[in-house]
């Protein structure tokens, strides 16, 4: 590494540390109640969402390698990553609100679905899980896409006669480095999600919603500690994952 | 006939591969430079990419079947990590293909018995032998091998190629190394610009050169 590269690295890291750690510390004050609960909730739902994103993410990455229509279809998994999260939130809300719309217009069969959505999905734990899973899908997809580009594992296992769920499971285990990366980074992603949750599932209160609401109510100071906690958790998880994966 | 390819045409971007006829009943090496169409040939035969023409394995037309039903075991240049502990992986695969009784024999034949209880930490050469064992346990009509030794050091390369020679099975072996082709194959075909220019059974015995190289490195 030459001296110019070193200078660029040091300048970037120093700036980021100043902006994201040291300068905010000047404002720090005790956080309002609920920080621990929101973090625990996010961690739990994030784990479930990350696990749920693995199989569809891998399947889509395999479809992408196939090319043609399958590749175009697979690209849909990138949508949550490239459009504003608030748009994803609005679209999810609109989709899950449609049974209510048809119910009020006389389609009785959808009234049950409408009440289920109201009772169990929008602003409910299941809604949080759906929102986090939707946002975790592009993470898993892109990591598996990278892994399958490097290795032609799918072709090998298919030639051994494996197909369907057995092929997917074998690939998940064989590409374990990618699988673990996808799982951890999808989990970390759940802490950073705000836009979708704010619109579609703001209750129960997850870490990002907690920070947003605390900032609206109490200002910057009480939210600095919570924000730094999320930063520390995400950085630690990413660091441990990288160390473990490269060992 | 273990593997017969007739009038095969496959395209990859602007590149077109055309093979009139290729028979594989022993170890057939296809030698060609980078970009000559070696991997495209194997992918087309394996059913990984679309191709026109006829592919026959064990006397059955498999041209329209997906790779998992062609009975062609495709060993890649970069070996694949076994999904679980080596013995569990091989046993699960053997169970699928009714070859459970052969796991120990295959492991012994390929010299990987000591790897059976391993899950991680396999070297590239060891992984490639495990891949070959897995392929053997599926009792394929033929093996497709795409530069299977390109990531191996010379000693592992020789060990792998010795294993291939002792398989006594039809193998379509793709390599860019003519010496390797001479060592491992009974028939050598030259691939240029997507066409097989010629095949020959006349080969030089270079076993002594391999033995000489081995003595230098061990």
Instruction: Select from A152, A159, A174 the Cβ nearest to the Cβ of B81.
Output: A174
Interface touch A159/B73, C-beta < 8 Å = yes
A 10 A CB-CB count for A127 gives: 23
Chains A, B: CB contacts within 8 A come to 65
Instruction: Select from B48, B66, B135 the Cβ nearest to the Cβ of A160.
Output: B135
Best A63, A65, A159 member to test B by mutation, with max B CBs in 10 Å, is A159
Best B80, B121, B147 member to test A by mutation, with max A CBs in 10 Å, is B80
Question: Which residues of chain A make contact with B13, given a CB cutoff of 8 A?
Answer: none
Domain spans, chain B: 3-80+141-217
Q: Is B13 on the interface with A (CB under 8 A)?
A: no
CA distance B167 to A6: 54
Over the stretch B18-60, which tens digit does the pLDDT of each residue have?
A: 999 999 999 999 999 999 999 999 999 999 999 999 999 999 9
Sign of dihedral through CA atoms A157, A160, A164, A166?
Answer: negative
Over the stretch A188-222, which tens digit does the pLDDT of each residue have?
A: 989 888 999 999 999 999 999 999 999 999 999 99
Q: Give the residue from chain A lying closest to B93, CA to CA.
A: A160
Does the domain formed by A40-246 have CATH 3.40.50.2300?
no
Is the CB of residue B91 less than 8 Å from the CB of residue A182? no
Is the pLDDT assigned to residue A247 strictly greater than 70?
no
pLDDT < 50 regions, chain B: none
Domain spans, chain A: 40-246
Over the stretch A15-64, which tens digit does the pLDDT of each residue have?
A: 999 999 999 999 999 999 999 999 999 999 999 999 999 999 999 999 99
Is the pLDDT assigned to residue A68 strictly greater than 90?
no
Question: A241 falls in which pLDDT band (50, 70, 90)?
Answer: confident
Q: Give the residue from chain B lying closest to A170, CA to CA.
A: B83
CA distance B119 to A96: 45
pLDDT at B10: 95
Superfamily of domain B3-80+141-217, CATH level 4: P-loop containing nucleotide triphosphate hydrolases (3.40.50.300)
Interface touch A161/B69, C-beta < 8 Å = yes
Half-sphere exposure of B158 (CA within 13 A, CB side): 14
Interface touch B93/A160, C-beta < 8 Å = yes
């Amino acid at each position: 590494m030459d001296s110019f590269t070193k200078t660029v690295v040091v300048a970037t890291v120093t700036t980021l540390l100043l902006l994201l750690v040291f300068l905010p510390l000047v404002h720090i004050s005790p956080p309002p109640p609920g920080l621990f609960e929101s973090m625990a909730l996010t961690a739990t739902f994030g784990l479930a969402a990350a696990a749920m994103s693995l199989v569809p993410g891998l399947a889509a990455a395999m479809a992408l390698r196939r090319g043609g229509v399958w590749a175009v279809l697979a690209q849909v998994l990138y949508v949550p990553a490239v459009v504003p999260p608030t748009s994803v939130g609005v679209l999810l809300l609109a989709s899950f609100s449609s049974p209510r719309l048809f119910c009020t217009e006389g389609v009785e069969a959808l009234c049950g679905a409408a009440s289920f959505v109201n009772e169990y999905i929008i602003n409910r734990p299941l809604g949080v899980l759906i929102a986090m899973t939707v946002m975790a899908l592009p993470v898993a997809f892109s990591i598996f896409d990278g892994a399958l580009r490097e290795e032609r594992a799918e072709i090998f296992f298919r030639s051994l006669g494996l197909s369907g769920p057995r092929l997917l499971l074998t690939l998940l285990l064989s590409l374990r480095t990618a699988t673990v990366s996808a799982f951890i980074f999808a989990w970390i992603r759940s802490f950073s999600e705000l836009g979708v949750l704010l619109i579609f599932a703001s209750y129960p209160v997850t870490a990002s919603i907690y920070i947003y609401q605390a900032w609206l109510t109490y200002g910057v100071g009480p939210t600095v500690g919570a924000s730094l906690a999320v930063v520390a958790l995400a950085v630690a998880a990413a660091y441990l994952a990288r160390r473990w994966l490269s060992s | 006939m273990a593997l017969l390819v007739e009038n095969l045409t496959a395209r990859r971007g602007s590149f077109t591969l055309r093979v009139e006829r290729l028979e594989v009943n022993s170890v057939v090496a296809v030698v060609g430079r980078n970009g000559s169409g070696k991997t495209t040939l194997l992918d087309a035969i394996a059913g990984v990419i679309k191709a026109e023409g006829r592919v026959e394995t064990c006397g059955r037309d498999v041209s329209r079947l997906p790779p998992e039903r062609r009975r062609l075991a495709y060993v890649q240049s970069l070996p694949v990590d076994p999904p679980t502990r080596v013995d569990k992986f091989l046993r699960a695969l053997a169970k699928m293909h009714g070859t459970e009784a052969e796991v120990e024999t295959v492991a012994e034949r390929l010299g990987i018995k000591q790897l059976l209880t391993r899950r991680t930490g396999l070297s590239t050469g060891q992984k490639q032998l495990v891949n070959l064992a897995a392929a053997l346990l599926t009792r394929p009509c033929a093996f497709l091998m795409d530069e299977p030794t390109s990531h191996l050091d010379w000693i592992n390369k020789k060990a792998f190629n010795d294993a291939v020679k002792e398989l006594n099975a039809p193998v379509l072996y793709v390599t860019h190394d003519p010496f390797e082709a001479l060592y491992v194959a009974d028939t050598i075909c030259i691939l240029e610009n997507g066409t097989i220019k010629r095949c020959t059974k006349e080969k030089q015995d270079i076993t002594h050169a391999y033995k000489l190289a081995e003595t230098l490195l061990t």
